[in-house]
Every structure is written in C-alpha cells, then in structure tokens.
Amino acid sequence: MIVIAKIGTSSVTAANGSVDTAAVGKLCSEVAGLRRDGHTVVVVTSGAVTAGVAAIAPLGGYRTDPMTLQALSAIGQPRLMRVYEDALAAEGLLAGQVLLAPLDFAHRQRYLHARDTFTRLLELGVVPVVNENDAIADDEIRFGDNDRLAALVAHLLRADILVLLTDTAGLLSADPRHNAEATLIEEVAEIDHELEQVAGGAASPMSRGGMSSKLAAAKMAVWSGSRVVIASARRPAVLADAVAGQQGVGTIFLPQRRALGARKLWIAFALRPAGRIVVDDGARRAVVERGKSLLPAGVVAVEGAFEADDAVEIVGADHVMFAKGIARLGAARATEWVGLHTGELSDDLPHEVVHRDDLVVL
Ligand code: GLU
C-alpha cells in the first residue's frame, strides 16, 4: 500500500517547542516497520515554525506576527529534518526533504513534476519527509495547514491510506474540554454537515490544524479514493493498525467508491477559487441532479473579479458552496449576462458560465 503519514506540531514538539526526538523516533520506527512489510511510506510533518520559535526564544526580541513566524520556520525546518534524518538512519533508512507550496499543485506542469520527484525518491528507497515551504510561501496563498497539504500529497500519489496523527484519539462526538461524555467516532461513511459541526474550530497560531481542518483534508482524500484514519500519534503501532484497518485505532473514513478523476479532483481541491457564482434553485438542480452545465439564465449574482479559466465556487441562495468549477466567462461578462437566456446571448463567447466538463459537485 501507499501510505501517507502526517504528524502534527503538538505531536512532534516538546512543551518547550523543541523537536521531540522520542516522538519522531517512535514514528520513524513505525515507518520502518511498514517498509519491512512492503509498504511505501511518505511522511508529512509539521513543527518547523514551533521549533524555530523555540530556537530563537532564548535571544528574545522577536515578534510573533505571521510573517515572522513563517520566517522562523527557516530555523526550525533544518532542526526538524535533522531529527528525522537521525531517526530514520537508526532504522537503516534515508530521509529526503520535500518542501511544497500551493502553486506546486495548482500548475499542472509543476504538479506532474512533483509527482515525478516523489516517484524517483521512492524508487531509490528514500523516505520523503514533506512540509510546506513555510519560509517563502506567500501568506495569501499558503496551505496554512499540513492536513490539507497531506491530502494533496495523498491525491498526488494515489495513496491507499492517509493517516493523520494528532494529540487526540480521533474525531470525538463532542469537545472533550466541555463535555465529559465525548466518545470516539470509530467509522465515518460520509462526511456531512452534521459531522462538520461536531468537528468545530480550534487550533493555535503556530499549529493551524484542528479537527475542522482534519475533516476538510479527510474529505479531499476520500474523494481521491484514499481511506483516511485520524488517530493518536502516541498510540503504540498506530500506523500498522491503521493500515490493517483495525477498528478502534482512531476514526476511520471510508474511501468514496466512485473516486473523482484526476482533473476533477484538481479543480475541486487544488485550484484556489477567484470568485463565486450565486445560482437559483433550478440551476442548482440542473447541475447537481442532471449533471448540466451552468448557464447565465440560472445565475443570480457574480462575486469577485475572476477571469475566464479561473476557478470559481458555485453557491446556492443559502450561499453555501455545492460545486466548484472553471469559469468559461470572466466576471465582467458573466455579470452582464446574469439571468439571460441562450437566445439573448451574443455568439462571440461561450454560452456556459461553467461547462459541465469543468464542474465538480461537492
Ligand atoms: N507547516 C507548519 C510547520 O511546520 C505547520 C502547519 C500546521 O500546523 O499544519 O510548522
């Protein structure tokens, strides 16, 4: 199996923020175990920002605005990597650092190149250790959380399983800080709004994750056809149990049986939306139930300054997104054509706001 193991900041750093050698050691020995069983493993790790802050803290005089925190990852990332290198070396394995930015997924060429890089490293027997390229990523377009990054890597490599390792046992039925009755949700067949409510918000300025970002990542990965497990990083043999599909290992999300094709997944999850199109109920039904293209007649409003070929979110009257696609018309023309029927449109441009081939219902 192809396994992506993602570990969060709180699980790889100690209370003082430095890299937790024992925690990384545990993870790497589990990685080695999977490798001995013939599995392919890629690690996605957080912790660079926190380790960077811990390193500079004794000197004092630093700020904690997002730009500074990102810059400090330049100190933390090599420290983090050194620990992985040593821990994997102790298992007779070589670590290879791969730092990714959102544009690596948004541009098809770079996306394919990144896949080739991983393939080559894996052929060479290297364990890729991935993080976001925090130090130089533009805050406007950062992933911001490694859960999403890990899901994109799972998609890129067509992983069989994505394991999100964290400091809780998995997804709980309520927030354990406020509700003592909170219990582990062992299996999720479909991620719906109700579950998203359960996951809530959370996370700190340094670790951006939290349960809601894990759920969003899980959704992305199950749509790519991967099984997802959210589990405790501290659990003994957590990776082996997750791979074996053992009940109770954490929260298991079953893969969607009908995984989306590569292009649709790329539209749905890798492209950043440049605007939103609000549609009426008829158009919504045509798109969702009958797989139709979105035409100007069904559009109620156009938001944002997108151009043709930009990604857009498609929302209903309730302003909740139900589909995503690539616009065939720019925002200016789409606005001009709001509510018009096909006979009323000029012939110089496509008549679909979003063509069905470029549209994904989510
Ligand atoms: N890339 C960030 C880091 O290594 C972590 C982002 C996250 O917490 O998900 O510090």
What CATH code is carried by the domain that includes residue 141?
Answer: 3.40.1160.10
Cα-to-centroid distance, 22 and ligand 1 (Å): 19
How many domains does the chain contain in total? 2
| 219-229 pLDDT per residue, tens | 889 988 999 99
What average pLDDT does the segment 322-329 reach?
94
CA–CA gap between residue 29 and residue 244 (Å, rounded)? 17
- What gap in Å lies between CA 191 and CA 58, rounded to an integer? 44
Ligand 1 contact via 46 beta carbon (within 6 Å): yes
pLDDT tens, 115-173?
999 999 999 999 999 999 999 887 666 676 899 899 999 989 999 999 999 998 999 88
Mutate-to-test residue for ligand 1 from 132, 133, 166, 167, highest number of ligand atoms within 8 A of CB: 132
Q: Which pLDDT value is given to residue 194?
A: 78
Question: Taking residues 165-182, what's their average pLDDT?
Answer: 85
Asked if pLDDT for residue 330 goes beyond 90, the answer is yes
- Quote the ligand 1 centre to 355 CA distance (angstroms): 36
Locate 145 and state its tokens. 């959380």
More confident call, 166 vs 346: 166
Q: How many CB atoms lie within 10 A of CB 254?
A: 13
For the cut 90, the answer to whether the pLDDT of residue 175 exceeds it is: no
Q: Are residues 29 and 134 in the same domain?
A: yes
φ, ψ for residue 152 (rounded to 5)? -70, -35
Pair 202, 101 in one domain: yes
Write out pLDDT tens, residues 49-108: 999 999 999 998 888 898 899 999 999 999 999 999 999 999 999 999 999 987 788 787
Decide if pLDDT at 202 tops 80.
no
Quote the domain boundaries for residue 175: 2-263
pLDDT score recorded for residue 141: 62
Q: How far is the CA of 87 from the centre of ligand 1 (A)?
A: 20
Place of tokens 């920002």: 49
Question: Do residue 125 and residue 195 come from a single domain?
Answer: yes
User: Ligand 1: does its nearest atom lie under 6 Å from the Cβ of 47?
Assistant: yes
**Mean pLDDT of the region 330-352:** 89
- Do 238 and 290 lie in a common domain? no
Does residue 146 sit in the same domain as residue 283?
Answer: no
State the CATH number of the domain containing residue 346: 2.30.130.10
Mutate to test the pocket of ligand 1, among 100, 167, 206 (most ligand atoms within 8 A of CB): 206
Helix (H, G, I), strand (E, B) or coil at 7: strand
How confident is the model at residue 205, as a pLDDT? Answer: 43
3-state secondary structure 212-245: HHHHHHHHHHHHCCCEEEEEECCCCCHHHHHHHC
In a domain, 268, yes or no: no
Q: Are 77 and 99 in contact (CB under 8 A)?
A: yes
* Percent of the residues in the chain that have a pLDDT greater than 70, as a whole number: 96
What pLDDT is stored for residue 101 in this prediction? 87
For residues 223 and 297, state if they share a domain.
no
Beta carbons of 239 and 164 less than 8 angstroms apart:
no
Q: Render 49-94 in DSSP notation, one character per residue.
A: HHHHHHHHGGG-----SHHHHHHHHHHHHHHHHHHHHHHHHTTT--
Measured CA to CA, the distance from residue 27 to residue 88 in angstroms comes to 9
User: Same domain, yes or no, for 178 and 109?
Assistant: yes
Phi, psi of 359 (to 5 degrees): -125, 135
Q: How far apart are CA 286 and CA 57, in angstroms?
A: 57
pLDDT at residue 177 is higher than 90: no
- Higher-pLDDT residue of 336 and 261 is 336
- Rounded Cα distance between 95 and 122, Å, is 11
* Same-domain check for residues 179 and 41: yes
- Reported pTM: 0.84
206 with 346, same domain?
A: no
What is the spatial distance between Cα 198 and Cα 191, in angstroms, rounded to a whole number? 11
Q: Which of 263, 294, 320 is the last residue of a domain?
A: 263
Residue 144 Cα to ligand 1 midpoint, Å, equals 7
